[in-house]
């Protein structure tokens, strides 16, 4: 086979072009820190990277959902805590009110305080988080105690409202939905508010005899037990939420490590390969200059 000067020159230029391409690849890896910069560099790595990124994105979304779940549960727990403090204070006032040594003015003052506690409790029941009511089940855009819930029957003020108790679920993991709200009827029921209203009326109706004080105290104790039970159930779900949060944290670490192993370049190795390729390239240039023989044009300079 006859090897011509043009063949030598063509092969030399082709090999130099490949050498430039290799150096360009190593320089891109150093600049980006990634093994590949386009799917054609390594289709297998690219496809695996898509799956790993999808898993990582899912974990990050579940963590955002967890943040919302924490907000709902913590605000719900705060609402129950506030309600229990109010019911304890009302109980103290009832015990104080049934003492025969109180004057009508004293009873009136106690009744005014209970009225204020009741109004404060309405505000707590209508708590909103990010524009949504957290104590009205799935009807998060409707207040559990609307303004028109107060009616007057035989001259007496009566609360008449019905909360939605449907569970409000948040997906905290793949296929796992966790209830983040409470059964508001166990905390902010119309019966509880009507009991508070009866206590207020008994103190401010001008008689102040508090004959039904023992029955009212029994009712308050019953509402207190319901609140305590609801708080315990919420605490159990909060503990489960923390376990899910811990597991998602582990999954995020593992997903990031796998993604790094799949895509991140070994910088030390890339630098070594680039240095070797630069030496090979210089050698190729030197050999090429010797292979390509002088032509007539070189002597005409």
- State both tokens at 218: 């029994």
2: left (phi over 0), alpha (psi -120 to 50) or beta: beta
Cα angle vertex 219, ends 162, 84, to 5°? 75
Handedness of CA 247, 253, 254, 256 (dihedral sign): positive
Element (H or E) spanning 173, and its range?
Answer: strand 169-173
* Residues 92-151 pLDDT 10s: 998 888 877 778 888 888 889 999 999 999 999 999 998 999 999 999 999 999 888 878
- State both tokens at 96: 């104080």
Contact (CB, 8 A) for 241 and 178: yes
pLDDT at 264: 77
pLDDT at 8: 66
Contact (CB, 8 A) for 141 and 133: yes
Contact (CB, 8 A) for 19 and 284: yes
* 127 Cβ contact list (under 8 Å, min separation 6): 75, 79, 133, 134, 135
Contact (CB, 8 A) for 254 and 7: no
Contact (CB, 8 A) for 257 and 52: no
Contact (CB, 8 A) for 113 and 51: no
Between the alpha carbon of residue 245 and those of residues 64, 184, 259, the distances in Å are 10, 26, 21
Contact (CB, 8 A) for 93 and 202: no
pLDDT at 38: 78
Cα angle vertex 241, ends 239, 243, to 5°? 75
N-to-C CA span, the chain:
33
Between the alpha carbon of residue 54 and those of residues 84, 159, 215, 263, 291, the distances in Å are 45, 51, 60, 14, 53
Per run of 10 residues, the mean pLDDT along the chain (length 301 residues) is: 67 75 78 78 81 88 94 95 94 85 83 92 92 92 88 80 91 91 92 91 70 86 94 95 93 87 81 81 73 59 55
Distance CA(78)–CA(126), nearest Å, equals 13
Nearest-Å Rg of the Cα atoms of the chain is 38
1 class by beta-carbon count within 10 Å (0-12 exposed, 13-18 middle, 19+ buried): exposed
What's the CA dihedral at 96, 100, 105, 107 to 10 degrees? 40
Element (H or E) spanning 153, and its range?
Answer: strand 150-153
- Closest to 197 (Cα-Cα) out of 231, 161, 229, 171: 161
pLDDT at 4: 66
């Amino acid at each position: 086979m006859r090897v011509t000067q043009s063949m030598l020159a063509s092969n030399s230029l082709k090999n130099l072009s490949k050498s430039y391409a290799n150096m360009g690849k190593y320089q891109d890896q150093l600049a980006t820190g990634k093994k590949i910069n386009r799917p054609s560099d390594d289709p297998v790595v690219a496809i695996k990277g898509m799956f790993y990124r999808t898993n990582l994105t899912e974990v990050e979304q579940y963590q955002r959902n967890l943040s919302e779940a924490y907000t709902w549960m913590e605000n719900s727990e705060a609402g129950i805590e506030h309600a229990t403090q109010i019911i304890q204070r009302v109980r103290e006032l009832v015990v104080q009110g049934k003492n025969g040594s109180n004057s009508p003015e004293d009873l009136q003052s106690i009744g005014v305080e209970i009225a204020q506690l009741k109004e404060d409790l309405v505000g707590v029941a209508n708590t909103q988080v990010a524009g949504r009511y957290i104590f009205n089940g799935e009807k998060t855009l409707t207040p559990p105690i609307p303004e028109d819930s107060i009616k007057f029957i035989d001259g007496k003020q009566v609360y008449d409202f019905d909360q939605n108790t449907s569970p409000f679920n948040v997906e905290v993991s793949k296929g796992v939905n966790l209830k983040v709200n409470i059964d508001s009827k166990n905390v902010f029921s119309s019966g509880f508010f009507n009991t508070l209203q009866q206590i207020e009326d008994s103190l401010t109706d001008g008689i102040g005899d508090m004959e039904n004080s023992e029955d009212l105290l029994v009712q308050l104790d019953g509402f207190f037990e319901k609140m305590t039970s609801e708080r315990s159930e919420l605490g159990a779900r909060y503990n489960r939420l923390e376990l899910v949060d811990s597991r998602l944290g582990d999954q995020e670490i593992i997903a990031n490590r796998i993604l790094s192993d799949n895509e991140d370049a070994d910088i030390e190795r890339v630098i070594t390969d680039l240095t070797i390729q630069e030496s090979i390239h210089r050698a190729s240039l030197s050999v090429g200059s010797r292979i390509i023989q002088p032509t007539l044009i070189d002597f005409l300079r």
